[in-house]
Structure 1
């Protein structure tokens, strides 16, 4: 009623001045009000949006690690009340700290830092911004407003090792690896356990690149392994360079991070892949609800869908595919079968006794290679 009273009061005054002009003026105000309200509502909604930032170590077009994280970000961006942003190709160290701090300064409510070398910078920035939630990927440090998260990628590595061990003819498998940290060492060991389960005579030769993303260097490392007789190339690297090198030599390859079959369709056996959407969406939901907590460590397995294997190529025999599917079903059922003893190190010493299973502490601190790996952990 008040709205209509105001309208008639304005109309009466307008008639005293100029009836025709007043009618037009009255109509104009009536038309503007809904638009103004809509603009104000949109502005308020924008202010209420949860701002979520992502920091990537390589380009999102790498077809690998950062690409897989960005697929998770896109899933978050589709959630109601959420606005996302990312910065790519951020070097670990001082540069990453600057980028993380800029996000916090610019009003981001939640920041995901996705590389191991971002751990200390994330913790330093978290201390400065206690009202911002920080999530660090693959590390182990925590704070009141900082948690860490990862997936049990070693489970998928083990499955791809079954495939590689079944497909090698010369019993030499190459592995192009980034840095000698527990995450990478654990993956190499799990892969090798799968390889040796399928083929006890096979060996896995490791070459370190000391970089996460350098397509040319990764490809050169793969070529060096092919030159010494490796007929399957696996990797813990972000680009499809090793896949391409294997195809050019007419050999097989096992990818990482995403399905890399498009880059080497004749070589690509399968890949250990990430699906970050489940953990990202769950974290965002908790922040929205006010139930998120810092000082937590999330380490999700294959049963959550965070880690998986890409479809196996047509060159992989049916019996190998069946074996992998059977083992995958056990892992998806929550039965972690990978690091179950007896397991020996390179020196032949038993590191996990028969019937025992490595606990998370042992896995997170793994600094030795298992029997069957050729190379060093430095």
Structure 2
């Protein structure tokens, strides 16, 4: 997660992720035994056996030499994780811990993983040290603010492997040691689909967003959500959507998220709320309004949160970090490590990543590393069809939210009216990774440091 000045680098796309899987598959058969075999051949031993042959005049003594193999216990791969929040937040850190468990379960070999939770970004170094003391060979650090310390410890411990989540430093990028990689599971496409759902159901024409920090990751998610909402609402009514953003300056702050959500509903007339805060608090507020007879909608975030808002839940963005983690487990276990920078989107790590017909769409089903939560039947059928169509098209990048096509054929402008994306253009990796502007439909300016 996720802030600070971002350096530009070449857009790696989804092909890099596919390359990793190929490298891993090629090396796994020969390498696994070397890491966890734990067996050795004992010196030859002379074994004397006595055999009685029926009908023979005497007992026959036979001497033979055999080689016995003594097998030791397999050595488990030891993997450490550092989380910025509690594993029970039901959001960011919870999703990472579910990914850890998924990777452990699918590795197929002995593995021992352990974690440190609720680690402030300034204290990640000491957490890494404790994981190394426990013998961790592979370490995942899962918050943007952990990035520089992760690079520092990668340099300090060249015999260990490090993966930083949501940052931009890696050996592959040339700005960190070769034993450090970067990875992220990206949501902007799913936020656009959430926006389509929001624009399809809003009655006030006003949507809200509870934001954590005004950094590029959150900004692009807000922009994607609002672009989707404007597309659907304007298609329905001919009017532009109005969007409000409240910043709480925290990743894990359920009380602040709750307060912000209520204010957006009561003071701004928002009836659909998205958020980047690592608990179901905003969805719970929406559900409370339903019980009071007022329709307010919200979403899942990182995990399936439907139980917290059975009426208010529209859809949402869900992540499975497990396949990403599993690739790194395999690289370390097979001694086939290469530093990579991967950024997964809709379609990546799916068994069948290609577009399907709308009637066969997998939207709303668990698959890959990022996927859409189930669609609430309240979303009108014509918009469910479009959401499924876009979901399928995005598997092959046939459609991208940050394009004129994603904005009803109009150029995408910022709050100052400056055109940011013109006809024939799409936001590339650098624009998305460095996004520091809000689209014109948002009322509040972006906070500046």
TM over 0.5: yes
Paired residue secondary structure (2:121):
coil
Counterpart of 1:353 in structure 2 is 422
Pair 1:363 & 2:432 matched = yes
Counterpart of 2:341 in structure 1 is 297
- Residue 77 of structure 1, aligned match among 90, 97, 104: 104
Counterpart of 1:100 in structure 2 is 128
Q: List structure 1 segments (4+ residues) > 6 angstroms apart after TM superposition.
A: none
Paired residue secondary structure (1:367):
coil
- Residue 383 of structure 2, aligned match among 314, 317, 320: 320
Counterpart of 1:22 in structure 2 is none
The CA deviation at 1:212 is 0.4
Pair 1:279 & 2:324 matched = yes
Counterpart of 1:34 in structure 2 is none
The CA deviation at 1:218 is 1.0
Pair 1:215 & 2:254 matched = yes
Counterpart of 2:218 in structure 1 is 184
CA distance in structure 1 between the partners assigned to 2:46 and 2:215 by the alignment = 69
Pair 1:253 & 2:298 matched = yes
Pair 1:375 & 2:438 matched = no
Paired residue secondary structure (2:163):
strand
- Alignment map for 1:189-268 (pairs within 5 Å): 189-200=223-234, 201-228=240-267, 229-250=269-290, 251-268=296-313
CA distance in structure 2 between the partners assigned to 1:90 and 1:213 by the alignment = 12
Paired residue secondary structure (2:307):
coil
With structure 2 as the length reference, what TM-score do the two structures score?
0.73
The CA deviation at 1:3 is 7.2
Determine if contact 2:163/2:183 at 8 Å carries over to the other structure: yes
Query: What is the RMSD of the two structures over their aligned residues, measured on CA atoms?
Result: 1.9
Counterpart of 1:113 in structure 2 is 141
CA distance in structure 2 between the partners assigned to 1:224 and 1:119 by the alignment = 34
Paired residue secondary structure (1:372):
coil
Paired residue secondary structure (2:306):
coil
- Alignment map for 1:22-37 (pairs within 5 Å): none
CA distance in structure 1 between the partners assigned to 2:272 and 2:343 by the alignment = 29
* Cα deviations by residue, 1:330-357 (Å, 9 ceiling, x for unpaired): 0112335111132111122101111111
Pair 1:333 & 2:364 matched = no
Pair 1:343 & 2:412 matched = yes
CA distance in structure 2 between the partners assigned to 1:73 and 1:128 by the alignment = 25
Gap runs ≥5 in structure 1: 7-36
Paired residue secondary structure (1:302):
coil
Counterpart of 1:132 in structure 2 is 160
**How many residues get paired?**
342
Determine if contact 1:76/1:82 at 8 Å carries over to the other structure: no
The CA deviation at 1:376 is 2.4
The CA deviation at 1:68 is 1.2
Gap runs ≥5 in structure 2: 1-43, 50-69, 171-175, 235-239, 291-295, 349-367, 405-410
* Cα deviations by residue, 1:285-327 (Å, 9 ceiling, x for unpaired): 1222222222x31111111121111001232222222111000
Pair 1:61 & 2:88 matched = yes
Determine if contact 1:172/1:204 at 8 Å carries over to the other structure: yes
* Cα deviations by residue, 1:220-261 (Å, 9 ceiling, x for unpaired): 111111112111111011100001111112211123111111
CA distance in structure 1 between the partners assigned to 2:259 and 2:337 by the alignment = 44
- Residue 72 of structure 2, aligned match among 10, 29, 41: 41
**Aligned CA distance change for structure 1 residues 166 and 3 (closer, same or farther; 3 Å):** farther
Counterpart of 1:86 in structure 2 is 115
User: Relative contact order, CA 8 A, sep 6+: which one is greater?
Assistant: 2
Worse overlay, 55-64 or 185-194 = 55-64
* Cα deviations by residue, 1:252-276 (Å, 9 ceiling, x for unpaired): 1123111111001110101111111
Determine if contact 2:187/2:345 at 8 Å carries over to the other structure: yes
Determine if contact 1:186/1:363 at 8 Å carries over to the other structure: yes
The CA deviation at 1:2 is 4.6
* Cα deviations by residue, 1:29-66 (Å, 9 ceiling, x for unpaired): xxxxxxxx7xx723xx1xx3211111111121211111
- Residue 162 of structure 1, aligned match among 190, 196, 205: 196
CA distance in structure 1 between the partners assigned to 2:140 and 2:446 by the alignment = 29
Determine if contact 1:259/1:270 at 8 Å carries over to the other structure: no
Determine if contact 2:315/2:372 at 8 Å carries over to the other structure: yes
